[in-house]
């Protein structure tokens, strides 16, 4: 199977909960179409090979979720308390694996990337979640 980019419609078939956010008045928003194209620039077809379409839809859905769903864009929350005074705030981190871990599509994308590099954090043969060193979570 050749490496292929997915259409915006095909991506929405795989991530249908995004449709109400990116289709307005029966037409895709310009922002949605731009995100689909942005994801293409972030992926290298030679690296992804036959998994390119999977990488494309998971990264696009991740980026769209962050763009259109404010609740998914929240980073880690840190808080501290002294007596009756408490403060909480979101921690901003540099984009990377932490950013991908914010959405379910980003986590799938991370797993796909790990498998491309020969490292998987999920067991392919059982339901347990093993670590690379053999320990089981």
Q: Domains of the chain: which residue ranges?
A: 8-116
Sign of the Cα torsion 116, 119, 122, 123 reads positive
pLDDT 10s digits, 72-97: 655 555 667 788 887 766 555 445 67
pLDDT 10s digits, 13-48: 999 999 999 999 999 999 999 999 999 999 999 889
Sign of the Cα torsion 40, 46, 49, 55 reads negative
pLDDT at 137 over 70: no
18 against 119, higher pLDDT: 18
pLDDT at 136 over 90: no
* Residue 90 near residue 77 (C-beta atoms within 8 A): yes
């Amino acid at each position: 199977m050749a490496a292929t980019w997915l259409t915006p419609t095909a991506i929405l078939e795989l991530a249908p909960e995004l449709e109400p956010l990116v289709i307005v008045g029966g037409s895709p928003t310009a922002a949605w179409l731009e995100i689909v194209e942005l994801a293409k620039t972030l992926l290298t077809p030679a690296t992804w090979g036959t998994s390119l379409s999977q990488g494309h839809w998971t990264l696009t859905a991740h980026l769209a979720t962050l763009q259109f769903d404010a609740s998914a864009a929240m980073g880690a929350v840190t808080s501290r308390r002294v007596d009756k005074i408490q403060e909480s705030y979101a921690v901003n981190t540099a984009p990377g694996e932490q950013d991908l871990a914010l959405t379910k599509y980003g986590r799938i994308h991370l797993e796909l990337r790990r498998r491309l590099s020969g490292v998987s954090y999920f067991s392919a043969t059982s339901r347990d979640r093993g670590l690379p060193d053999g320990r089981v979570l």
